[in-house]
């Protein structure tokens, strides 16, 4: 009122001046009025300008590069993992199907093509619809306003923010076309379950590309952005269908589809892609990749840059490795017995109850292990809650491994347990379970392609979520006897032959006044032993003596050339594998044997592209010749003997030519099994992180061997058999007597064809076997056949072995405890 009164007074004053005032008075009045008007206008414009200046410039719209997913692919182009702050896959508007475009416009902004960024009639309509429904059914914001909020503003709900949103929407509409706005909107909007943009949403919910969406699927997706969690078809399938029906009604009203089409689509059931626990199929390997990428390109590039990373991993082989490894560790852990389970807390019980039954059912797979809570336990069965009230039956027969007969003896209500799904009927929700327990023992398995160094499979522990420590690349453990091939390799390369004989008998070493007598794993001795037998039967004393003969420095040099990068102690304890190594370098070094002397560095990343497809890096195998092909063939031949006649006997079950070596450290703390075919080298390590004993007789053959064998057998199940290639030169094949190591005669009871480096083959005939079984006059040493064994004064079951040859003293410096021995 004061403003109106003041305005009337000004008008009266002007009328008076106009009638009776002079020209000077008129000019003065107009000047004063103009000055006053400018002041008033300034008071309005300046604050408005200052307010609008706080708005983000929509020029950023042109420069805006939304964060998109960095994808990790296996060697066959299959997705194995991804990194992103927001899971988004950019697509052009032309890849958005018309059904989704129409459904979104009908639900979100029916006047999109007719307004200038703000839809005033739409605001009024939304208010009226929401009042009638007594809930928020429709929003008044246009697609352009939603986009301005998503790109430039915070999600706060204030008048101030709404004004900014409206102003930005007007600016966007003025500068950009409707199609440009829609394209960015469809790539930016959030659809729930980590999916940003329609392409990620289509893949997330239906396992397809956006352009492949049906009308029913488009209608469902169009209703999600309003409240993604609330309308999630996984979380609330009933509400999702109601929301889909609403979208179909809106499409009918806007003339996009007919009532008959809507009615038909409304009857279609929900057909969703099975929701997985995560797309990371190889967590330890993918984390290995992430660390390399972060060192080279930085964190921002990984999580927002949309890199495409092509790796060496074979996903199918990786799945086999994970299955074999986890089953193997569970079987090892069961030898320690059943451990009393922990009780679920009230908080854990509440979380289990909140789980969606349908989501849990969709996640289950036969053969997989899941966590559960005991609901009821009787003598014959137990009921296990897997989440959301979804129960599985655990028959008493499926707890037999615990040593207990009745379920109620070891299981009580509210116990937390691990169970394996044995049988699954999704329709009837019939679930039969078997009792498991999460292993405390850990391990690692890695498989490499010898010819390229490509890492084909990698499992660095039992549970990545529980421990991200990658034992393939980070664990430093004693290799035990699995280190012996490097000693034998150095010997063969130095001119020793597979038939060279060393006396397996007690020996005493003087370590600066301290006496040390190395022992064999079985604490027995077998007398004269060829290098072939010494390696096949993993004779410690033979290996220590061989190391002493050829020299520690030569062995360390050989191991380093082959790929062992860890520090190796320069003493005789090296023969027992006391220097710690990393599983990956052991696998890589063993790969030199089937690759005929060529060392290839382990490789995991083949190529990296940026979001535009530009190649940032491309990697190829790095090769170096470190051994003669002939030396490697002889060693491969010896290691095949470990499989055929020694501690690696389990590998025979693979059904393909294999060479391998076991390893067990003092007190059975570490168990190894490393072996190869012409095409693949695989290393398995099992042990506790705390470096405690696995238990009596828990050797590499017993513990790691089954995992290695199960994996390799599955990998080579349908592959054609391939023999190890024989080098063109440098080898001589000779028939020898396996006992004497000399050229075979017709009197020798056993004859074998042995491979020698040229010039190292024997030139004399066997002098152990004369005519009619009479011993010859040579070494005078002969192993007693099992059927002819008799009690001797000597504990070595040997004939004609002088005592002075059995007890010798060496001055070689060592650094090892008296109790140390290995398999």
User: Who's near 814: CB < 8 A, 6+ residues apart?
Assistant: 509, 511, 516, 571, 572, 573
> Is the CA virtual torsion 237, 243, 247, 253 positive or negative?
positive
The pLDDT of residue 94 is: 94
Give tens-digit pLDDT for 448-502.
999 999 999 999 999 998 899 999 999 999 999 999 999 999 999 999 999 999 9
SS3 label, residue 435: strand
d(C-alpha 412, C-alpha 498), whole Å = 60
pLDDT given for residue 194 in this prediction: 83
Q: What is the pLDDT of residue 780?
A: 33
Q: Over range 251-259, report the average pLDDT.
A: 94
Give 633's pLDDT tier (boundaries 50, 70, 90). very high
Active site residues: 108, 481
| pLDDT at residue 158, as a whole number | 59
Domains and their CATH numbers in the chain: 2-52 (no CATH), 86-266 (1.10.3810.10), 311-436 (2.40.50.140), 480-576 (3.40.710.10), 731-810 (no CATH)
Q: Which of 9-23, 563-577, 738-752 has the highest mean pLDDT?
A: 563-577
How many angstroms separate the Cα of 444 from the Cα of each of 285, 286, 460, 771? 12, 15, 5, 54
Helix (H) or strand (E) holding 605: strand 605-609
pLDDT at 776 > cutoff 50: no
Q: What's the confidence (pLDDT) of residue 507? A: 93
pLDDT of residue 281: 77
DSSP assignment, residue 700? I
pLDDT tens digit sequence for 172-201: 888 888 998 899 889 989 998 888 999 999
Q: What is the pLDDT of residues 779-819, one digit of tens each?
A: 333 333 333 323 222 222 333 333 334 333 333 333 333 33
Instruction: Report d(CA 108, CA 273) in Å as an integer.
Output: 25
Nearest to 595 by CA among 551, 635, 538, 645: 635
Tell me the three state secondary structure of residue 641. helix
pLDDT 10s digits, 580-621 = 999 999 999 999 999 999 999 999 999 999 999 999 999 999
Which residues lie closer than 8 Å to 747 by C-beta, 6 or more apart? Answer: 766, 769, 770, 771, 773
Q: Residue 515, SS3?
A: strand
Q: Which of 115-129, 162-176, 780-794 has the highest mean pLDDT?
A: 162-176
The percent of residues above 70 in pLDDT, for the chain, comes to 81
Mean pLDDT score, 287-306: 93
Kindly write down the DSSP assignment for every residue of 364-408, as one continuous string. Answer: --TT-EEEEEEEEE-SSEEEEE-STT-EEEEEGGGGGGGT-S-HH
* DSSP code per residue over 767-821: SSB-GGG-B-SSS--EEPPGGG----SSTT-EES--HHHHSEEE-------TT--
Question: 822: pLDDT confidence band, cut at 50, 70 and 90?
Answer: very low
Asked if residue 135 has pLDDT above 50, the reply is yes
pLDDT at residue 148, as a whole number? 77
For residue 279, is pLDDT > 80?
no
Reported as half-sphere exposure (CB side, CA atoms, 13 A), residue 198 has a value of 31
Return the pLDDT at 789.
29
Q: Which residue has the higher pLDDT, 102 or 29?
A: 102
Strand duo 369-377 + 308-311: pairing: unpaired
Q: Are 547 and 821 in contact (CB under 8 A)?
A: no
Please report the pLDDT score of residue 22 as a whole number.
66
Q: What confidence score (pLDDT) does residue 112 get?
A: 86
pLDDT of 357: 81
Which tens digits make up the pLDDT trace of 488-537?
999 999 999 999 999 999 999 887 768 889 999 889 999 999 999 999 99
Closest to 742 in 3D by CA, of 768, 765, 769, 774: 765
CA distance linking residue 230 with residue 323, whole number of Å: 36
Q: Which residue has the higher pLDDT, 269 or 354?
A: 269
DSSP H helices, 516-621, are 531-536, 540-550, 552-562, 583-590
């Amino acid at each position: 009122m004061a403003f109106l009164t003041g305005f009337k007074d000004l008008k009266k004053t002007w009328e008076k001046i106009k009638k009776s005032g002079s020209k000077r008075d008129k000019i003065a009045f107009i000047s004063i009025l103009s000055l006053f008007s400018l002041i008033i206008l300034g008071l309005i414009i300046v604050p408005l300008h200052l307010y609008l200046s706080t708005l983000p410039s929509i020029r950023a719209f042109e420069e805006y590069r939304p964060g998109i997913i960095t994808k990790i692919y296996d060697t066959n182009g299959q997705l194995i993992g991804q990194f992103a702050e927001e899971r988004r896959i950019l697509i052009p508007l032309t890849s958005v199907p018309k059904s989704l475009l129409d459904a979104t416009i009908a639900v979100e902004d029916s006047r999109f093509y007719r307004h200038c960024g703000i839809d005033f009639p739409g605001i009024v309509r939304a208010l009226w619809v929401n009042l009638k429904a007594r809930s928020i059914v429709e929003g008044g914001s246009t697609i352009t306003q939603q986009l301005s909020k998503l790109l430039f503003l915070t999600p706060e709900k204030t008048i101030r923010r709404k004004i900014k949103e409206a102003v930005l929407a007007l600016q966007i509409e003025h500068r950009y076309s409707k199609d440009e706005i829609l394209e960015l909107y469809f790539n930016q909007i959030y659809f729930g379950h980590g999916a940003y943009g329609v392409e990620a949403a289509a893949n997330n919910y239906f396992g397809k590309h956006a352009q492949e969406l049906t009308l029913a699927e488009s209608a469902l997706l169009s209703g999600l952005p309003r409240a993604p969690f609330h309308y999630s078809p996984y979380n609330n399938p009933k509400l999702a269908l109601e929301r889909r029906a609403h979208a179909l009604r809106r499409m009918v009203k806007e003339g996009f589809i007919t009532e008959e089409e809507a009615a038909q689509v409304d009857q279609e059931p929900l057909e969703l892609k099975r929701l997985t626990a995560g797309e990371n199929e190889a967590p330890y390997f993918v984390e290995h990749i992430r660390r390399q990428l972060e060192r080279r390109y930085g964190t921002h590039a990984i999580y927002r840059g949309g890199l495409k990373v092509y790796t060496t991993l074979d996903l199918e082989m990786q799945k086999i490795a994970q299955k074999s490894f986890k089953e193997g560790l569970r079987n090892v852990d069961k030898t320690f017995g059943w451990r009393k389970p922990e009780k679920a807390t009230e908080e854990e019980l509440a979380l289990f109850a909140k789980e969606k039954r349908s989501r849990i059912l969709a996640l289950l797979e036969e053969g997989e292990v899941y966590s559960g809570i005991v609901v009821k336990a009787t003598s014959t069965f137990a009921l296990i809650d897997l989440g959301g009230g979804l129960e599985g039956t655990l028959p008493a027969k499926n707890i037999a491994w615990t040593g207990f007969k009745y379920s109620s003896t070891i299981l009580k209500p509210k116990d937390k347990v691990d169970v394996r799904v044995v049988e699954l009927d999704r329709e009837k929700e019939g679930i039969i379970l078997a009792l498991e327990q999460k292993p405390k023992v850990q391990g690692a398995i890695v498989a490499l392609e010898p010819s390229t160094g490509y890492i084909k499979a990698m499992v660095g522990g039992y549970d990545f979520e529980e421990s991200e420590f990658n034992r393939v690349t980070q664990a430093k453990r004693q290799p035990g006897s699995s280190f012996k091939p490097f000693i034998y390799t150095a010997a063969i390369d130095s001119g020793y032959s597979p038939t060279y004989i060393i006396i397996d008998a007690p020996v005493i070493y003087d370590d600066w006044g301290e006496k040390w007598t190395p022992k064999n794993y079985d604490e027995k001795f077998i007398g004269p032993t060829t290098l072939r037998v010494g390696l096949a039967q993993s004779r410690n004393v033979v290996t220590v003596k061989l190391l002493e003969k050829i020299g520690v420095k030569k062995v360390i040099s050989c191991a380093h050339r082959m790929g062992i990068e860890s520090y190796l102690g320069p003493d005789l304890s090296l023969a027992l594998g006391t220097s710690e190594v990393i599983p990956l370098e052991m696998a890589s070094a063993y790969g030199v044997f089937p690759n005929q002397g060529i060392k290839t560095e382990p490789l995991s990343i083949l190529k990296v592209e940026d979001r535009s497809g530009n190649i940032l890096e491309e990697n190829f195998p790095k090769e170096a010749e470190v051994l003669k092909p002939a030396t490697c063939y002889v060693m491969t031949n010896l290691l095949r003997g470990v499989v055929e006649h020694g501690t690696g006997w389990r590998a025979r079950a693979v059904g393909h030519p294999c060479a391998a070596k076991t390893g067990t450290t003092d007190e059975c703390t570490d168990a190894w099994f490393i072996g190869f075919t012409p095409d693949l080298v695989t290393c398995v390590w099992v042990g506790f992180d705390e470096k405690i004993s696995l238990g009596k007789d828990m050797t590499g053959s017993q513990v790691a061997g089954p995992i290695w064998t199960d994996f390799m057998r599955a990998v080579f199940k349908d592959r054609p058999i391939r023999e190890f290639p024989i080098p063109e030169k440098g080898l001589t094949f000779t028939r020898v007597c396996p006992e004497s190591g000399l050229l075979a005669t017709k009197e020798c009871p056993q004859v074998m064809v042995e491979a020698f480096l040229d010039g190292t083959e024997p030139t004399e005939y066997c002098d152990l076997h004369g005519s009619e079984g009479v011993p010859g006059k040579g070494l005078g040493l002969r192993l007693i056949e099992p059927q002819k064994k008799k009690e001797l004064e000597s504990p070595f079951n040997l004939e004609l072995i002088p005592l002075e040859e059995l007890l010798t003293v060496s001055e070689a410096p060592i650094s090892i405890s008296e109790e140390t021995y290995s398999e």
